[in-house]
């Protein structure tokens, strides 16, 4: 199978951009370097094969920076030599009777793996800052559109630097992995846990009001404090909380700043605690007295 250097790859990303060979051939196909043994074969010959067999050629976007795209040909009635000729200049030649779905699934799996690599943190496996920033913007937009609350929790381990300095970075990293696991266990499936950086974690809590976020935060703080830090000292974390205001939502940076402010307060007020920005809401989602009930209550019976 032919491999091509990056400089020859088309710069624009096309996702399954199919070409019918009867129309203009893809220009990039013509630019492909031909392996030494194939030099004599004319490109017209290749295009002829594509046309004759009503073949479909496609660029598959892999999202990978080294090899962003694959050139795939799908053709049905190829003779042996035709198949060979095509195989020399394309990445994959598939027959419709081949397990096309399996091949695409393989490519998709590889694609996903590569995408995951660019969105997660290598140490803890949590989402990284890049994903966090993107997703928080999405959730703020959702809050603005639906009016549903969204809370943000910033978690910072207390005195983590000390642990790193005394026990070394390997131990420190192993501890961070454990912390990530403990936090994950306390969250709900819809919460998005990210490693914000260093020993700081961020949790995006969609459709969650401040008070519910507080409950979860308290549960989380308590479970972290049961995690042994050093042999004799328990671990503790400071937590800052904020709820996205659908009216004054100014994008993710402002939202993070508010939660950070709360986190800073938690640190200065003595660590191992939760602080929040905003007021404790009156009851939300609580059944209020209906008109029928009110009428029944106010009815004068005698």
Partner 1 sequence: MKAKKPFITSIASGKGGVGKTFITANLASCLAKDGNKVLVVDCDLGLANMDILLGISPMFTLQDLVFGNRSVEEVVVCTKAGFDLVPASSGVKEMGQLLYEKIQMIKSSLDTLIPNYDHVLLDTGAGISEVVLQFNLFAPNNIIVLNREPTSVTDAYAVIKVMCQRFARQSFGIIVNSANNEKEAGRLFRHIDAVSRDFLDLPLHYLGYVVTDGAVPNSIMNHRVLVDTHPGSGVGMNCSHIARAIPKWAQQATVSAIV
Task: List interacting residues with partner 1 (CB under 8 A).
Answer: 211, 214-215, 218, 221, 273-276, 279-283, 286-290, 292-294, 296-298, 301-302
Question: Cα separations (Å) of 112 from 18, 93, 117?
Answer: 21, 22, 8
Q: Which residue has the tokens 């091509």?
A: 4
Minimal distance in Å, beta carbon 165 to partner 1? 30
CA distances from 54 to 27, 41, 298 (A): 18, 20, 80
Nearer Cβ to partner 1 (95/188)? 188
Q: Whose Cβ is closer to partner 1: residue 53's or residue 238's?
A: 238
Q: What's the min distance (Å) between Cβ of 220 and partner 1? A: 11
Which 3 state secondary structure label does DSSP give 19?
A: strand
Choose between 163 and 274: whose C-beta lies nearer to partner 1. Answer: 274
- Residue 81 or 287: which CB sits closer to partner 1? 287
* Residue with Cβ nearer partner 1 (6 or 282): 282
Among 138, 159, 153, 104, which Cα is nearest to 271's? 159
Shortest reach from residue 280's CB to partner 1, in Å: 4
Structure tokens at 46: 């290749």
Task: Specify whether the CB–CB gap between 20 and 56 falls below 8 A.
Answer: yes
| CA dihedral over 169, 173, 175, 179, signed as positive or negative | positive
**At which residue do the structure tokens 């030599």 appear?**
81
Question: Minimal distance in Å, beta carbon 221 to partner 1?
Answer: 8
CB of 261 to partner 1, least distance (A): 15
């Amino acid at each position: 199978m032919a491999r091509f250097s990056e400089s020859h790859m088309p710069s624009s990303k096309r996702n399954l951009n199919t070409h019918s060979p009867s129309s203009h051939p893809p220009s990039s196909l013509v630019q492909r370097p031909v392996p030494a043994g194939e030099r004599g074969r004319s490109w017209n010959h290749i295009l002829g094969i594509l046309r004759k067999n009503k073949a479909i050629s496609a660029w598959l976007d892999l999202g990978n920076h080294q090899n962003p795209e694959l050139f795939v040909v799908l053709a049905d009635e190829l003779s042996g030599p035709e198949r060979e000729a095509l195989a020399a200049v394309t990445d994959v030649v598939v027959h419709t009777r081949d397990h096309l779905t399996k091949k695409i699934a393989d490519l998709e799996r590889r694609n996903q793996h590569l995408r995951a690599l660019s969105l997660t943190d290598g140490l803890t496996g949590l989402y990284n800052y890049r994903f966090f920033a993107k997703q928080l913007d999405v959730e703020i937009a959702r809050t603005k559109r639906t009016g549903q609350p969204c809370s943000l929790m910033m978690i910072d381990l207390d005195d983590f630097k000390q642990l790193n300095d005394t026990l070394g970075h390997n131990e420190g990293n192993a501890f961070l992995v454990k912390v990530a696991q403990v936090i994950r266990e306390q969250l709900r499936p819809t919460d998005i846990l990210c490693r914000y950086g260093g020993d700081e974690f961020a949790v995006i809590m969609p459709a969650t009001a401040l008070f519910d976020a507080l409950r979860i935060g308290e549960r989380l703080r308590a479970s972290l404090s049961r995690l042994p830090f050093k042999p004799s000292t328990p671990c503790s974390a400071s937590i800052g909380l904020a709820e996205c205001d659908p009216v004054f939502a100014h994008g993710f940076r402002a939202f993070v700043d508010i939660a950070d402010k709360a986190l800073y307060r938690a640190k200065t007020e003595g660590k191992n605690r939760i602080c929040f920005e905003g007021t404790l809401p009156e009851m939300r989602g609580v059944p209020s007295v209906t008109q029928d009930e009110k009428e029944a209550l106010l009815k004068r019976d005698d």
